[in-house]
Amino acid sequence: MDANLEKLEEAEGTGSAQNGPAEEASRGHDLVWEEEKEELSDISYNITSYGADYMVDGIVRRFRQGDIFVPDFQRKFVWTWTQSSRFIESLLLGLPVPGIFLYKEKDSEKMQIVDGQQRILSLERFYPEEELKTHKSKSRIHKPLKGDHEYFFNQHYNNLKPEFRRKLDNSILHATIFEQRSPESNCNSIYEVFGRINTGGTLLHSQEVRSCLYYGNLSRWLRDFNSRNKEWRKFLNHSKSDSHNEELILRIIALKQNLSSYNYPLKHFLNSFMESNRDPSQEWLNYIEKWIHCISKFAVKNIHKEIFFRNHRVVPVIAEAILIGIWNRIEELEGNDISESSFSRPELLQDAAAQLLKDAEFQKLTKHKTTSLEAVKGRIEKATKAFKEVV
């Protein structure tokens, strides 16, 4: 299969596909990124949740020890120091503050921060490491308070009067801790909960939630490949590197590898794939990276970008079908001679893609109930057949 990839790279057209409009192919097919909302499946979940009160100094200690942690996917610290100072002042003044949400991992007993990252990081940045005497002590200058209260303004933790230091240390943050008891085969309920209770203002995208629950080598690779691979960035027309595009890569890989076992809804299918492959071997990742790189390069060189884009955004149902179709076709040629002449007429590939988009059945499979078993398998099969006739 690797030999095929090498031949594919040699056989790709030397120039980029024309950038002229593919209006005829896309007429009447004005899809946007958002797909039909999937209905909730009728799976029954058993989730345990309970409350726990943590003293502030204990929260900071657990965070620095890694027992409570921010998952890889989480947005960076976004509060200004003034906002952080106001939060800390509220504790010093004895005012009530919002609670936090933690997801308890089944095996490690560690807890992921679902909601409350900004508050916990604010405290961590105010407390000097030596006060908590952790094994991860670092040399770092901690900022003084810059909030609204004149009495505390410009004070460091060590400058506070002893009674205020004790008051802050003993202040309580209420935590809601939850974990899934059943079904044991997946964490889909936590996925549902996570996407709903996060109160950060902007709802998290499904791939952000997925990357949290199944963080590991695969989630890190997805983020890295999505941001750095030049051919993939060209395919995306250098659009913003975000979780939408990470999910598209995941969709291509999961549907290519496990199409025969696909089950609705798509989000649970992707969840299961990431959970089963959260820490794959480097050899597997290298294999996947080489294929995604090659089919992206192949598409950029031979197919108009308008085939894949609507309103300046990639349409996932079209992109996944065509890219997997190309992948399937090249695999079928294993052992055969893929010569340069096989791809000497890139207009054939463009025409095949354009005809595919005009196909009434393909349009139906990319517009209605797009994540149903019939639609997912149907559009990939049609794309594979379309390219079989010209590759």
pLDDT score of 124: 94
Residue 234 has a pLDDT of 94
pLDDT at residue number 4: 53
What mean pLDDT comes out for the span 250-265?
A: 96
Residue 219 is encoded by which pair of tokens?
Answer: 């989630």
Where along the chain do its domains lie? 2-41+204-388, 46-182
Residue 14 has pLDDT above 60, yes or no: no
Q: Find the mean pLDDT for residues 189-197.
A: 65
Question: Is the pLDDT reported for residue 182 higher than 60?
Answer: yes
Confidence of residue 138 (pLDDT cuts 50, 70, 90): very low
CB of 91 closer than 8 Å to CB of 97: yes
Tens digits of residue pLDDT in 84-135: 999 999 999 999 999 998 988 888 899 988 889 999 999 999 999 765 554 4
pLDDT of residue 381: 97
Query: Worst-scoring range by mean pLDDT, 31-35, 126-130, 167-171, 189-193?
Result: 31-35
In this prediction, residue 330 has a pLDDT band, given cuts at 50, 70 and 90, of: confident
The mean per-residue pLDDT over the stretch 181-201 comes to 63
Strand partners, 102: 113, 177
The CA distance from 10 to 7, in Å, is 5
Strand partners, 175: 52, 100
Please tell me the predicted confidence (pLDDT) of residue 382: 97
**The Cα angle at residue 73 between residues 68 and 79, in degrees rounded to 5:** 75
Which is higher by pLDDT, 190 or 147? Answer: 147
Q: What is the mean pLDDT of the chain?
A: 82
Pairwise pLDDT comparison (6 vs 210), residue with the higher score: 210
> Within 10 A of 10 (CB to CB), how many other CB atoms are there?
11
pLDDT number for residue 32:
42
Q: pLDDT value at position 51?
A: 96
Residue 245: its pLDDT value, please?
Answer: 94
Which of 40, 179, 167, 182 has the alpha carbon at shortest distance from 103? 179
Tell whether the model's pLDDT for residue 349 goes beyond 90.
no
Structure tokens, 169: 């240390």
pLDDT value of residue 70: 87
Rounded CA-CA distance 235/252 in Å is 14
What local confidence, expressed as pLDDT, does residue 171 receive? 97
Q: Would you say residue 291 has pLDDT above 90?
A: yes
Cβ pair 300, 281 in contact under 8 A: no
Question: Comparing C-alpha atoms, which of 134, 123, 118, 210 is closest to residue 168?
Answer: 123
Does 335 or 303 have the greater pLDDT score? 303
Q: What is the reported pLDDT for 48?
A: 86
* pLDDT band of 205, cuts 50, 70, 90: confident
pLDDT band at 10 (very low <50, low <70, confident <90, very high): very low
Give the pLDDT of residue 72. Answer: 63
Given phi > 0 = left and psi -120 to 50 = alpha, else beta, which region is 369?
left
Report the percent of the chain where pLDDT is more than 90: 56
Helix 373-388 vs helix 346-358: crossing angle, to nearest 10: 150
pLDDT value, residue 338: 43
Looking at residue 30, its pLDDT comes to 43
- The pLDDT tens digits of the residues spanning 227-248 come to 999 999 999 987 776 889 999 9
Q: What is the 3-state secondary structure (H, E, C) of the chain?
A: CHHHHHHHHHHCCCCCCCCCCCHHHHCCCCCCCCCCCCCCCCCCCEEEEEEEEEEHHHHHHHHHHCCEECCCCCCCCCCCHHHHHHHHHHHHCCCCCCCEEEEECCCCCCEEEEECHHHHHHHHHHCCHHHHCCCCCCCCCCCCCCCCCCCCCCCCHHHCCHHHHHHHHHCEEEEEEEEEEECCCCCHHHHHHHHHHCCCCCCCCHHHHHHHHCCCHHHHHHHHHHHHCHHHHHHCCCCCCCHHHHHHHHHHHHHHHHHHHCCCCHHHHHHHHHHHCCCCCHHHHHHHHHHHHHHHHHHHHHCCHHHCEECCEECHHHHHHHHHHHHHHHHHCCCCCCCHHHHCCHHHHHHHHHHHHHCHHHHHHCCCCCCCHHHHHHHHHHHHHHHHCCC
77 is written with which tokens?
């610290």
